[in-house]
Chain A
């Protein structure tokens, strides 16, 4: 209503003018009729009507909205003021744009990963269940078929419990034989997650019955990648594990969770899951569970319930749950599992970005304050002519807000430009990276922090300006360029900037040291010039050990003979491949006491072909590596790593001793010791490890490694075609170089360190500009005083010392507070650091020195100007 009036008022005003004219004409007519002269009639009519302009004004005001009017007027005025000082406006908008951009960009990730609800129905209710043998290994061991059934039937806390495991199968029927990551799930799996298909249907209980025809559900990503989103896919048949599987539906786009599966099948279609042995054996564990909590039940209650079931099972099946294993069910909310890796990193980055913005605000407040002091005459005049304190305050705040909003627009632009890089970065830490995009919430956030920033840096100068005394009009221009009180405020702002940037520099410094430590870790092998590829065998095809051995033997022989290849090897896992955890088990050493009732010592198992250590450049410390002759017919042999050798045979050579990995049923002779390798991550120390020869074990999950003379990727095609020569249906996946794997490991800490470093550099730069600028202003203000001192005989050194002391005082104060703040702030960083403590004294000292030196450099320029003050000139300006 009032807005309508507001916009109609111009039209109404025009009408009034006509109306008044008619009114006055009528009155004149009446007066003429009364016998007045034309002149008098006119005069009387106007007298009687009163001032038409005043009446129009009154009606105009009735239709206006005062705050809006004021805002527009302030806005116009602010715009003109800023245009008159484009340098300030540019610096301010750029600084804020960077600060807001950094915050908005990081928030985009946080919004997508941590704030947006998961694409599952009521995702808070979904739990991931696993089992752990806590006394043996921290890694979960999974559930067996029987355990899943027991937990499903006996629990009181879940509305439903589904099982899940993932395997890789060969899919025939597409252009090439494909290795597809397959989620093997019970029929209720998608109900537990609360997911609906985009096409066709999902798995039903009928699909999971014993003789049901096998079905497949495709993930959205695989459907798009492999079939271009062809809607006729439903009903198509593919061959898998020697059976025909029919596609029945397509899933919506979902995070790559629990794993990056391509297709899903019911448990009955999985040959290993549906084998009689698997179903009957309580100790064959390979599944995890997903459960939906009944309404009102908490995760803690679920934990208690599962623990009670576990206790019952332990009593009923003591062999499967020895006390020495410490078996327990693990319960993790899915939400937590999806976000825990990204949460600390991005919250840290948001904190850092927030500090940069605070710092930018402090700097702008400082800048605006000095500008304000130059404009104090203007403010005094405005107040003398009737502006209220509030009017002046509001005017200046509008100016800040305008700058802040312009900075916000720039910042959102920066965030949009950087989002692609950030998504790639976040993808290393969370399967939810696909959810990251610029949406309404991000825009709202950008707008919100722009307003906040405007308030932060606009309030102080606005307040100072609104307190200008009219008497300052009488003062000389020089004096009014900043009162003593203003200087104090400015120094406090400088100290705050130093404090913020110290905290940021500390965080960045620690991250860089941590990164340096990671980079200088010796993984125990030479990563350069090694090509790796996954060649997991289709186990329905390679049933006999001999077939496998033939395949590997032929591939190794031909690959090793390639002109560009130095050596080739087959192993179970690729070093630094973070997709896989260690395969570990117990070991008994001959001649060393076994403590019954205590858990068997655990070691990592590895499988290696003869040239494995040569390909990786792992030195053989004593004994020998494997030979081609180490076959199933030859005596069982093994190689142990240095750590294990020192652990079990501290005083003698390990070579020649015997170990057993099957509780003493068979014995294996140690024939060699190799140096330690960080197989599962640069930050993970090598565990005790045993290497078994390829031809003495049953291996289907295999990798081929080739050491090349030049760029390994150039040989990828040659090696692939060799494999296809041996078996045209053999899929080859994950073709990578070890260098790539190593940089992938370093990628996350690298980007975190770079981002933090970038933030810290921006902070340092802004701070130094602030330190230097504040001191320069103070020197300008005191040039007369300095002139007098020089005239009275003060030496240059004295003046220099005096000015530097003044400049460095707020820096030192800020530093002192910053050190204390950093001690607390860096603790939050502890989890992200590798081999460096959050209170690393060296880093503290280094950053203190850095800040001091740079701040000193910033002070030197204004200090030199102080020294070069010409006393004659300075005094003459009086």
Chain B
């Protein structure tokens, strides 16, 4: 925090969090790695600028757990790309993760207090 390296460090954001974001991205439809990275970046207004490579271990893990499945297809500019699809189990997991995340955010908000945050 003190060094102000938040952006670089975002690659190390909580493992579960990245997994959750990836799952969330796939709700709107199948996507390949590049798209997923772009969507996360854009929808977070460029705050969550992941080092794109670190997305892949997360995808591998999700696939290994059966939350996403993958297939080879052609990307929008006609390149061979690996697409990821949310599975039923993945959807369930996303619901669980989301509610957990909401609770956590609320709890942290309560502890920190409104004025504390705005004072920063």
Contact, CB under 8 Å: A49 / B52: yes
Is A58 touching B79 in the complex (CB atoms < 8 A)?
A: no
Q: Does A62 contact B (CB under 8 A)?
A: yes
Would you give the 0/1 interface string for B22-37, flagging 1 where the beta carbon is closer than 8 Å to chain A? 0000000000111001
Bound complex: CA A25 to CA B79 (Å)? 9
B79 touches A22 (CB 8 A): yes
Cα A253 to Cα B62 in complex, Å, equals: 61
Partner of B34, one of A15, A27, A50: A27
A29 touches B77 (CB 8 A): yes
Q: Contacts A5-B64, A26-B75, A26-B77; is A55 near B57 (CB within 8 Å)?
A: yes
Please state if B33 and A19 are interface contacts (CB–CB under 8 Å): yes
Q: Is the CB of A19 within 8 A of B82?
A: yes
Question: Is B17 part of the binding interface, using a Cβ–Cβ cutoff of 8 Å?
Answer: no
In-complex Cβ contact of A55 among B53, B77, B81 (8 A): B53
Instruction: Determine if B56 and A22 form an interchain contact, defined as CB atoms under 8 angstroms apart.
Output: no
Q: Which residue of B lies closest to A58 (CB)?
A: B57
B79 to chain A: which residues have CB within 8 Å?
22, 25-26
Q: When the two chains form their complex, are residues A54 and B75 in contact, meaning their CB atoms are under 8 A apart?
A: no
* Residues on B with beta carbons closer than 8 Å to the beta carbon of A29: 77
Residue-by-residue, is B69-93 near A (CB-CB < 8 Å gives 1, otherwise 0)?
Answer: 0000001010111100000000000
- Best-surrounded residue of B11, B57, B77 (most CB of chain A within 10 A): B57
Q: Which of B51, B52, B54, B57 touches A23 (beta carbons < 8 Å)?
A: B52
- Asked if B9 lies at the interface with its beta carbon under 8 angstroms from chain A, I say no
Chain B contacts for A5, CB-based, 8 A: 64
The distance in angstroms between the C-alpha atoms of A58 and B53, with both chains bound, is 10
- B82 nearest CB neighbor, chain A only: A19
Q: How far is the CB of A434 from chain B (nearest CB, A)?
A: 55
List which B1-43 residues lie within 8 A (CB) of chain A: 11, 32-34, 37-38
Contact of A50 among B38, B54, B60 (CB under 8 A): B54
Whether the Cβ atoms of A59 and B52 lie closer than 8 Å is no
Contact A59–B51 (Cβ < 8 Å)? no
The interface residues of chain B lying within 8 Å CB-to-CB of A15 are 82
- A66-84: which residues lie under 8 A (CB-CB) from chain B? none
The answer on a CB contact under 8 Å between A49 and B51 is yes
Is B100 in the interface zone, CB < 8 Å from A?
A: no
Residue contact A20 to B81, C-beta cutoff 8 Å: no
Kindly state whether residue A51 has any CB partner on chain B within 8 Å: yes
CB under 8 Å from chain B, chain A span 6-21 = 12, 15-16, 18-20
Chain B residues contacting A16 (CB-CB under 8 Å) are 56
Bound-state CA distance A30–B38 (Å) is 10
Residue of B nearest to A16 (CB): B56
1/0 contact string of A35-53 vs chain B (CB within 8 Å): 0000000000000111110
Task: Check if B61 is an interface residue, CB within 8 A of chain A.
Answer: yes
- B37 partner residues in chain A, CB cutoff 8 A: 23
Q: Judge whether B52 and A22 touch: CB under 8 Å.
A: no
Contacting pair A62 B60 (CB below 8 A): yes
What is the bound-complex CA distance between A55 and B75, given in angstroms? 22
The distance in angstroms between the C-alpha atoms of A55 and B82, with both chains bound, is: 16
Complex CA gap A26/B31 in Å reads 13
Q: Which residues of B contact A62 (CB under 8 A)?
A: 57, 60-61, 64
- Closest chain-A Cβ to B63's Cβ sits at a distance in Å of 10
Within 8 Å by CB of A22, from B34, B38, B53, B57, lies B34
Contact across chains for A50 and B77 when beta carbons are under 8 A apart: no
- Residues of chain A contacted by B38 (CB below 8 angstroms): 30
A22–B52 Cα gap in the complex (Å)?
Answer: 13
Give every chain A residue within 8 A of B77 (Cβ-Cβ). 26, 29
For chain B, the bracket of interface size reads: 20 to 34
Contact A51 B34 (CB under 8 A): no
- How far is it, in angstroms, between the C-alpha of A18 and the C-alpha of B82 when the chains are bound? 9
Interface residues of A in 593-636 (CB under 8 A from B): none
Please tell me if the beta carbons of A59 and B34 are within 8 angstroms of each other in the complex. Answer: no
Q: Which residues of A contact B80 (CB under 8 A)?
A: 18, 22
User: Do residues B52 and A19 form an inter-chain contact, with CB atoms below 8 A?
Assistant: no
**Distance between Cα atoms of A217 and B13 in the complex (Å):** 83
Least distance between B95 CB and chain A CB atoms (Å): 25
Report chain A residues within 8 Å CB of B64: 5, 62
Which A residues are CB-close (under 8 A) to B51?
A: 48-50
Find chain B residues with CB under 8 A from A59 CB: 56-57, 60
B53 contacts across to A, CB distance below 8 A: 20, 49-52, 54-55
Specify which chain B residues have a CB less than 8 angstroms from the CB of A49 in the assembled complex: 51-53
Query: Within the complex, what minimum Cβ distance (angstroms) separates A874 from chain B?
Result: 62
Decide: A19 and B61 in contact? CB cutoff 8 A: no
- CB-nearest residue of chain B relative to A1? B64
**For the complex, what is the distance from the CA of A48 to the CA of B51, rounded to whole Å?**
6
Contact of B32 among A22, A30, A48, A55 (CB under 8 A): A22
The CB with the most chain A CB atoms within 10 A, among B34, B51, B61, is that of: B34
- A12 and B77 alpha carbons, distance in the complex (Å): 24
- Chain A min CB distance to B96 (Å): 22
Min CB–CB distance B31 → chain A (angstroms): 11
Q: How far is the CA of A18 from the CA of B79 in the complex (A)?
A: 11
Closest residue on chain B to residue A18 by CB atoms: B80
Distance from B105 Cβ to chain A, minimum over Cβ atoms (Å): 28
Among residues of B, the one whose C-beta sits closest to the C-beta of A5 is: B64
Complex Cα distance, B61 from A18, in Å, reads 18
The minimal Cβ–Cβ distance linking B85 to chain A, given in whole angstroms, is 15
Contacts of B52 in A (CB 8 A): 23, 27, 48-50
Tell me the bound Cα distance from A29 to B35 in angstroms. Answer: 13
* Chain A residues in 8 Å Cβ range of B56: 16, 19-20, 55, 59
Measured CB to CB, the nearest residue on chain A to B35 is A26
Contact partners of B34 in chain A: CB under 8 A: 22-23, 26-27
A22→B54 contact, CB < 8 A: no
Cα A5 to Cα B65 with chains together (Å): 12
With a CB–CB cut-off of 8 A, which chain B residues contact A27?
34, 52
A699, chain B: closest CB distance, angstroms: 89
B39 to chain A, nearest CB (A): 13
* A19, B31: Cα distance in complex, Å: 13
CA distance A556 to B54 in the complex (A): 106
What's the minimum C-beta distance from B64 to chain A, rounded to whole angstroms? 7
Contact B57 A19, beta carbon cutoff 8 Å: no
Q: In the bound complex, how far is the Cα of B54 from the Cα of A109, in angstroms? A: 62
State how many angstroms separate the Cβ of B16 from the closest Cβ of chain A. Answer: 16
Q: How far is the CA of A20 from the CA of B38 in the complex (A)?
A: 15
**Residue of A5, A27, A49, A54 with most partner-chain B CB within 10 A:** A49
Residue numbers in A under 8 Å from B32 (CB-CB):
19, 22-23, 26
Count chain B CB atoms within 10 A of each CB in A25, A29, A55 and give the residue with the most.
A55
Tell me the smallest distance from the CB of B32 to a CB of chain A, in Å.
7
> Would you give 14 A-B contacts (Cβ < 8 Å), ordered by A?
A19-B81, A20-B56, A22-B75, A22-B79, A22-B82, A23-B32, A23-B34, A23-B81, A26-B32, A26-B34, A27-B52, A50-B52, A55-B53, A62-B64
Seen from chain B, the residues whose Cβ lies within 8 Å of a Cβ on chain A are 11, 32-34, 37-38, 51-54, 56-57, 60-61, 64, 75, 77, 79-82
Additional A-B contacts beyond A19-B33, A62-B61 (5; CB < 8 A): A23-B81, A48-B52, A49-B53, A50-B51, A62-B57
State the 3 A-B residue pairs at the shortest beta-carbon distance, nearest first: A50-B53, A55-B53, A26-B34
